[in-house]
Structure 1
Amino acid sequence: MKPYKITLLALIVFFHLGCEKRLDEEVFSELSPSTLFTTETGLSTLLKASYTNAHRSGAVETWGPLHIESMTSGETWGAGGSIENLWIALMDFTWDSNHSQLFSIWQTHFSSIRDANIVLDNLDNENLSDGFRQVTEAEARFLRGWNYAALYNWFGRLPLYTSSTDDPLQPRATDEETRAFIEQELEAAAANLPDQATEFGRASRGTALAVLTKYYLNTRQWQKAANAAQDVIELGQYALLTNYSDVFAFDNEGNQELIWAHPKDGATIAAAGNALNALTFPPDFPVPFPSNSVFAARTYLFDDFVNSFEASDTRTSQIITEWTSTSTGELVQGLGNDQSFPNKFPFEPTSVGPWAGNDVPVIRYADILLSRAEALNELNGPSQEAIDLINQVRNRAGATPLDLADYNQTTLREAILQEREWEFYFEQKAREDQIRHGVFIERAQARGKNAQEFRRLFPIPQVELDANSLLEQNPGY
């Protein structure tokens, strides 16, 4: 037993034996039960709690979505550590309703929805200023829209909770009802949010429009996707950075390309940190800073993908193809063995062990440009505008520009999907992109997986089915 534990135990025994009655604690917090729901300070605290869950601020909640997206799509593969069995289920298309990472994601998003509903239920209060009510309502509705859009992407139709007083035993709404609610919330948020977010990680008008763009794109509402993307572009607030690597640099967080990102803080609270590097690199990898450490698990890119880039493409700067082992001193060749590492999150100098403060990009300006190009192509086939949008992204990367004369609608669709793979690898995009393009199951089968159509959606977690008898499982599970 460590000395401090002995001291703590002695103090506990002393107070239990030396006091005849329990001491009443005097609470100094301004957020008493009577003020939590009735003051701007209290409701702001609840709103931040909703943001915390929306940002997937937890260990599994940070890395789970990324690995679930990348490993089911064949973008990455992983091995090692206690997490390996969870990864095997994802890679082999054998996941079921007891997969713990699926439950974590379901739980954290619905926790955010719960907190947003509490905020909305308590805004009709004369103690609150009109300005506070308007912006807070818009942010809370954005959070509901974002959370439901994320859950819909994974699980399909959902139980719709619109008030904190709703009966927790709710059936799943229809697909039409779920989609209408997501659209309603995000449109309302975009109409009332400020042009500038009050702080990094909170929503602005551009954030809501960007989430709407991706929601419309993934539901194949091409005209609405094109329009929402154009609205983001016309705000004039976002731009591609000159250098691709600068987008992810630790000392450049909150840059002009990031529209919606999940802030992380590993220096103060481990559970709020980003441990993706700890699940990417092996124990004998030469970490650059003394405070860095990693787990036993590793995440790899396949050779075919690494070799698919043009030699001039600077996006390969975020891929490590060889490294020197700290155990043997020998050079380890990742490329040639399907063991190159994605390096989208540079090691943080002040990380606390495996926990780092690298923010996780969710929607970048490059995504908006390519989303509009895709929507325009689906509406009317190739156009110079679509080609120019794609070339903005390619030019930044030093890749050869596309020429309109070389494409028809089908080949440009394929080129856009390929461009998205190069631009957004290891950014939680591959699965949804493949599903939208109708190749998710087909590609898995080509990799030798027993992938069936029903696995385009994940199962409702068994824990939730047990707790809510009105929930209905997705077909096939």
Structure 2
Amino acid sequence: MKNIYKITMAASLLGFLIMEACEKGLQEETYSVYDENTLTKPENGEQAVRGVYAALKDNGGFGYYAGYLYWLYEYPADVVTTVPTAKQGVQLDQLTYDASNSTINGVWSSVFRMISRANEAESLIKKINYVSNGSTEQIKNQNLGEVRFLRALAYYDATSLWGNVPLLIKPSSQFTKEDENPVLSPKADIEAAMIDDLTFAEENLPLTYPPASVARATSGAAKSLLVRLYMRRGEWQKAADKALEVMDKNYDIRTRAEGGIVSLFDTGNRSDNEFIFVLKSSNEPGSYSINSNSFGINSTPWDLNRGWGNFPITLQFYSVFSQNDDRRKLLTGIYKTLYGQVVSVPKEYGGIGGSAPDTVMAKYIYNLKYPHVNNYNYAGFNNVTILRYADILMMRAEALNELDGPNQESIDLINKIRNRSGLDDIHLDDFNSKSTLRDQIFDERNKEFFMEGRRRDDLIRWGRSASNGSNPLLKFKEKVKPVLADPSTYSDNVDYTVYPYPQNELQSNMSLDASINKGRIK
């Protein structure tokens, strides 16, 4: 932790400030050390904010939200599987991981690197007098709101993946000796800090930005992350109310007349108002030096468009879609390979099948939400969705059902999502209990949000609701165990709601030892 917080962060934030200064023609303002007495202008605060955004794509085109985070959110669930050659992915997919898994270690570092950048940026911005330097207090609070939103997002991921984690919300210059080897803070304390950050952010962030800055955090993004947090906590009324606040903003789902769900994920669709917050992967102005991500190359196989095929999806998942569901078009039901053959989903899984030698039966399907240019580039410029409006509608529908059981508003919200994909309405009379509508909601969520990092959290929340909090792994076990290559790898003695703390952290943080991973690995 000392290395992550003190050395890496000071260097990375400073490096970003220097880079930004040079790009803006300020070559005379270069610094060999991080000097708060020199970085005194509002533009330095803006540069610090950009440095925190850049941490969303930590470690090149694969880091954090550019790739590896989704390995932890998708592989252990029941939709995405992996290829045998991806050792770390196989461990995650088959629930055989341990503290030495490099992806677990890497995501931990990425999360806490962004938290550290946010802490350093917050400290710097607070010391800048924006008004006396030609700016405004409003812009200062906006900058603070942005970094506090990003810190809350990082802590959301940290607590979703590990539960109790160290809570540090101050710059390294204020560290005590104890802070260099921080203890684990209760998850509830961290969530309280997140709520404080997000409340400040929703009060101080703007509703919108100019098109070039579409990926910056808005008040709607802060409210949306609060909805997600309240849902995780089972605070249904707070979640429903906050979702309604988001619905009062200028968001909407992309309609069928506009191209619907398929066009939503087109590479050229960069600022649709269904996107509440995204990782902007672009070489356009305002991309915060986040030039690409690994989703396109990882999502599809080599014989389709020279991809790596690291996110294969089970054929069973294809079979859950009706033929007239537009969301099925975001999966490779049938395609022509680079070599002239046709790969087709077998008829027993809902595909059209075919016959050899011209047609080969698919062993997996692949998602097309992250389109990739047909060349040898290792990454693409498509945005990565972090928060979108359809999720807000579905979370309000779920919260209302948990509060009062089947109700017309929940039905209407679900139908809005279904109709956009070409499906018929469901009706209130179809559901005679809270549990039956809950199952419908999670079925729709699975089909709407595949490969958007939501399935693992959904399975855990579903289990909590279905068991009245007594067994959060109820649905996880029900859905995941049957798709394991070896079902015996599933253990009732392992708490799959959390990952093991990384080996690198156990070795560097003297407050921790291997005993804290008891019950987190088999």
Please indicate the TM-score interval, normalised by the length of the shorter structure. 0.7 to 0.9
CA distance change for structure 1 residues 389 and 256 in 2, over 3 Å: closer, same or farther? same
- Give the match's secondary structure for 2:103: helix
CA distance change for structure 1 residues 333 and 44 in 2, over 3 Å: closer, same or farther? same
1:347 corresponds in structure 2 to 372
User: Which among 437, 443, 446 is matched to residue 479 of structure 2?
Assistant: 443
1:224 corresponds in structure 2 to 238
5+ residue gaps in structure 2? 1-25, 132-136, 350-361, 464-474
1:386 corresponds in structure 2 to 410
CA distance change for structure 1 residues 375 and 88 in 2, over 3 Å: closer, same or farther? same
Is 1:294 aligned to 2:296, yes or no?
no
User: Which among 420, 427, 451 is matched to residue 445 of structure 2?
Assistant: 420
Check whether the contact 1:238–1:256 (CA below 8 A) recurs between aligned residues.
yes
Is 1:464 aligned to 2:477, yes or no?
no
- Give the match's secondary structure for 2:81: strand
Report the Cα offset of residue 80 of structure 1.
Answer: 5.1
Report the Cα offset of residue 44 of structure 1.
Answer: 1.5
1:358 corresponds in structure 2 to 382
Amino acid at match of 1:125: K
Amino acid at match of 2:248: E
2:356 corresponds in structure 1 to none
User: Which among 172, 177, 183 is matched to residue 184 of structure 2?
Assistant: 172
Is 1:331 aligned to 2:342, yes or no?
yes
User: Which among 129, 136, 145 is matched to residue 143 of structure 2?
Assistant: 136
2:74 corresponds in structure 1 to 70
CA distance change for structure 1 residues 441 and 246 in 2, over 3 Å: closer, same or farther? same
Is 1:196 aligned to 2:208, yes or no?
yes
1:43 corresponds in structure 2 to 45
Quote the Cα distance in structure 2 between the aligned partners of 1:207 and 1:340.
32
TM-score (norm 1): 0.86
Quote the Cα distance in structure 2 between the aligned partners of 1:300 and 1:126.
49
Quote the Cα distance in structure 1 between the aligned partners of 2:40 and 2:363.
57
Report the Cα offset of residue 352 of structure 1.
Answer: 6.5
Q: Which moved more, 1:333-342 or 1:364-373?
A: 333-342
CA distance change for structure 1 residues 450 and 125 in 2, over 3 Å: closer, same or farther? closer
Query: What does residue range 175-186 of structure 1 map to in structure 2 within 5 Å?
Result: 175-186=187-198
User: Which among 398, 401, 414 is matched to residue 374 of structure 1?
Assistant: 398
- Give the match's secondary structure for 1:118: helix
Check whether the contact 1:98–1:462 (CA below 8 A) recurs between aligned residues.
yes
Quote the Cα distance in structure 2 between the aligned partners of 1:126 and 1:206.
26
Report the Cα offset of residue 31 of structure 1.
Answer: 4.7
1:281 corresponds in structure 2 to 300
TM-score (norm 2): 0.79
In the TM superposition, what whole-angstrom CA distance separates every residue of 1:343-383 from its partner, at most 9, and x where no partner exists?
Answer: 1112247x771211011011111000000000000011011
Report the Cα offset of residue 134 of structure 1.
Answer: 1.4
Check whether the contact 1:230–1:372 (CA below 8 A) recurs between aligned residues.
yes
Q: Which moved more, 1:262-271 or 1:439-448?
A: 262-271
- Give the match's secondary structure for 2:311: strand
2:469 corresponds in structure 1 to none
Report the Cα offset of residue 161 of structure 1.
Answer: 0.8
Check whether the contact 2:299–2:370 (CA below 8 A) recurs between aligned residues.
no
Is 1:264 aligned to 2:264, yes or no?
no
CA distance change for structure 1 residues 352 and 303 in 2, over 3 Å: closer, same or farther? closer
Quote the Cα distance in structure 1 between the aligned partners of 2:450 and 2:84.
21
Q: Which moved more, 1:108-117 or 1:364-373?
A: 108-117
Is 1:58 aligned to 2:60, yes or no?
yes
CA distance change for structure 1 residues 418 and 365 in 2, over 3 Å: closer, same or farther? same
2:156 corresponds in structure 1 to 149
Q: Which moved more, 1:249-258 or 1:229-238?
A: 229-238
Check whether the contact 1:241–1:247 (CA below 8 A) recurs between aligned residues.
no
Check whether the contact 1:78–1:300 (CA below 8 A) recurs between aligned residues.
yes
Report the Cα offset of residue 239 of structure 1.
Answer: 3.5
Check whether the contact 2:281–2:293 (CA below 8 A) recurs between aligned residues.
yes
Quote the Cα distance in structure 2 between the aligned partners of 1:118 and 1:383.
47
Quote the Cα distance in structure 2 between the aligned partners of 1:105 and 1:246.
30
Report the Cα offset of residue 79 of structure 1.
Answer: 1.0
Report the Cα offset of residue 125 of structure 1.
Answer: 3.5
Quote the Cα distance in structure 2 between the aligned partners of 1:375 and 1:196.
27
Quote the Cα distance in structure 2 between the aligned partners of 1:154 and 1:436.
13
CA distance change for structure 1 residues 120 and 281 in 2, over 3 Å: closer, same or farther? closer
- Give the match's secondary structure for 1:76: coil
Amino acid at match of 2:282: D
Amino acid at match of 1:200: V
Identical-pair percentage = 26
Quote the Cα distance in structure 1 between the aligned partners of 2:38 and 2:373.
36
Is 1:306 aligned to 2:313, yes or no?
no
Report the Cα offset of residue 251 of structure 1.
Answer: 0.8
1:120 corresponds in structure 2 to 122
User: Which among 411, 415, 419 is matched to residue 395 of structure 1?
Assistant: 419
- Give the match's secondary structure for 2:435: helix
- Give the match's secondary structure for 2:67: helix
Quote the Cα distance in structure 2 between the aligned partners of 1:271 and 1:466.
31
Report the Cα offset of residue 266 of structure 1.
Answer: 7.0
CA distance change for structure 1 residues 29 and 218 in 2, over 3 Å: closer, same or farther? farther
5+ residue gaps in structure 1? 1-26, 288-292
